[in-house]
Amino acid sequence: MPKVNIVKKSTDTDMTPFVDVAFLILSFFIMATKFKPAEAVPITTPNSVSSQKLPENDAVLISIDKDDKVYFSIMAKNDPQIAVDIIKGAAQARNIPVSDAQAKNYFPGDMIGVPFNKLGAFLAMSNDDKKKYVQEGIPVKDSANNELYYWIAATRTAFAGKPLKYLIKGDNVSKFPAFQAVIEALKKNDEQKYNLVTMPEGAPEGSELWRERNQ
């Protein structure tokens, strides 16, 4: 009888290529990740087909959260003096005393959402306290006392002669009147061009834009 020779193979598989791939993916994600800056107020923006990039400098951001509260932030990381000028200018227009030290305590990108009478106290808070503090939003509803108007007027003065963009970031469920009040404050300052912050989305298949992009 011939002998059947069964080759016994080891049950261990060579894991090396697998691990190689895993670490390749790992390094990709480490490099591609850009951490979300911690947001004091979470805002879910709508989607749009627009592909313009969001400017990170020389801009002011007006945010509307889901409860229709309005916040103002200054995006000028490369020139901190501008933020100080804006804060002092806006406060001065309303005769609210804000010291240099308080204004310097503002970190570019922070959201200000307090009426002017609470501004000094809010700016004086430590960073941790600021995050915990529930802001009531900048009053905009009453068109005679639209405080955002003064913020934008001060911004225009501080940025005079420099490029400046107005970013508006609204939450999906915020109501239209809040957005309208923001536009009203900008219009009063003779500002007609804005950039709305959205998340990217593909053009729907078959639409005219889709045909143009796929040509």
Q: What residue ranges bind other proteins (CB under 8 A)?
A: 15, 19, 22-23, 25-26, 29-30, 32-36, 45-55, 64, 167-168, 170-179, 183, 186-187, 190, 192-201, 203-204, 207-210, 212
Nearer to other proteins by C-beta: 99 or 207? 207
Q: Least CB distance from residue 82 to other proteins, whole Å?
A: 20
Residue 34 vs residues 30, 49, 201: alpha-carbon distances, Å: 9, 22, 19
- Closest approach, Cβ 106 to other proteins, in A, equals 22
For residue 211, the minimal CB distance to other proteins (Å) is 10
Amino acid at 93: A
Residue 206 C-beta: closest distance to other proteins, Å = 10
Cβ closer to other proteins: 131 or 187?
187
Q: Give the position of tokens 């006392």.
A: 145
Put the strands of the sheet holding 59-64 in their side by side order: 70-75, 59-64, 165-170
Dist. CA 51–CA 210, nearest whole Å = 13
Residue pair 131/141 in contact (Cβ under 8 Å)? The answer is no
